[in-house]
Amino acid sequence: MPIKKILVANRSEIAIRVFRAANELNIKTVACYAEEDKLALHRFKADEAYLIGKGKGPVEAYLQIDEYIRIARISGADAIHPGYGLLSESPEFADACEDAGIIFIGPRAQTMRDLGNKVAARNMAIASEVPVVPATDALPDDMNEVKRMAAEIGYPLMLKASWGGGGRGMRRIMDESTLVSEVSEGKREAKAAFGKDEMYLEKLIERARHVEVQLVGDDHGNLVHLFERDCSVQRRNQKVVERAPAPYLPQAVRDELTASAIRLGNAANYRGAGTVEFLLDADTNKFYFIEVNPRIQVEHTVTEVVTGIDIVKAQIRLLEGAVIGTPESGVPKQEDIHLNGNAIQCRVTTEDPEQNFIPDYGRITAYREATGFGVRLDGGTAYAGAVVTRFYDPLLEKITCWAPTADEAIARMHRALREFRIRGVAT
């Protein structure tokens, strides 16, 4: 069934990204905004906009499942796109949409439950013969038992939250002397971020690259990959530079990596857009499964420009019932998906590098962005006169540069970044 109107249960850059895809498909759009976001650009990019979470906090306002369902009914939206972050990985949200007869543009709720818990996803990877990093099960409250489990895996270790992503709760633990304090602090951070404090320990690969495979599946059992991205450049466990494809990856390793991602996706009966993330040992080129992100990702743009596939449009079309490999889906059969050139993405954020990258806020007094051949911009409230508040993620603009070779893509990115002029806030 064709979707006629999409409500985006998100804000800023990703909301605008979905609105653009919907507009090109001649689908009406609905925005939601918190009181603190009443001047945010995404509110004015949709056909309709509604205040959400009145009286709630600036982030809590965007977590009101019942409110989204109510606004969808009022506006006549027959589908909801969750974007990334916020409620994008909430099986309860997917369930609520299904109960209300609204299409949730994402994986099935059960798929999110199966993959959302990293320990359960790891077990599924093992069953699918996908390599995994040595790790513990969920950590108990008994710290003596935690110490025993840590010693069994062997130091150094990485502490991770079983639920959620974005590096929340993640800690490096080099020896037993910091184990108890780091586990306790990690649990507190995970509880605050995800409402759950379940953690596990994983063997730390010290010279690791972060490589991920983009998957797209339809409702008819078809699943394809759109090759890989490199996301190794990170700060505080947050990605800041992404590339597609990974230029250092031998073809044999690429083939094995993508085949592993497909096996895991098939095991999960995956539908929609999702990403299987791996660690690659830089010394041996051996790779290990980390997690599955059952949603669109910030860095999806680099995959789009090297494959020519609009992933957000594909999400919409496939949830309308289109079949991969047909013109209606916008996604070719696997053998017809090819890499074309190289892409790199950088994130312009309102953070002060001279103050340990703390977020900055205020009014943007001057704004000049890059342009030219091979330069793509995806932004939120980014223009002269815009007010950047202290309430939200400091991402201001994403720049994606394409070129035939990796070196040319880097040179183009350098040029594009030099063209930017932003005054009023630190970037």
Q: State the catalytic residues.
A: 239
Q: What is the DSSP string of 351-383?
A: EEGGGTTEE--EE--EEE---STTEEEEESS-S
Residue bearing tokens 């892409």: 343
Answer yes or no: are the C-beta atoms of 89 and 116 closer than 8 Å.
yes
Q: Which residues pair with 210 in a beta bridge?
A: 279
Q: How far is CA 244 from CA 35, 249, 258, in A?
A: 37, 11, 14
Query: Nearest-CA neighbor of 170 among 134, 142, 194, 143?
Result: 194
Query: Nearest-CA neighbor of 93 among 63, 52, 53?
Result: 63
38: number of Cβ within 10 Å: 10
Give the H/E segment covering residue 65: helix 65-75
In angstroms, rounded to a whole number, what is the distance separating the alpha carbons of residues 187 and 313?
A: 37
Answer yes or no: are the C-beta atoms of 23 and 29 closer than 8 Å.
yes
257: number of Cβ within 10 Å: 25
In angstroms, rounded to a whole number, what is the distance separating the alpha carbons of residues 129 and 131?
A: 6
362-363 and 387-388: which strand pairing? antiparallel
In angstroms, rounded to a whole number, what is the distance separating the alpha carbons of residues 269 and 220?
A: 10
Query: Nearest-CA neighbor of 90 among 199, 9, 6?
Result: 9
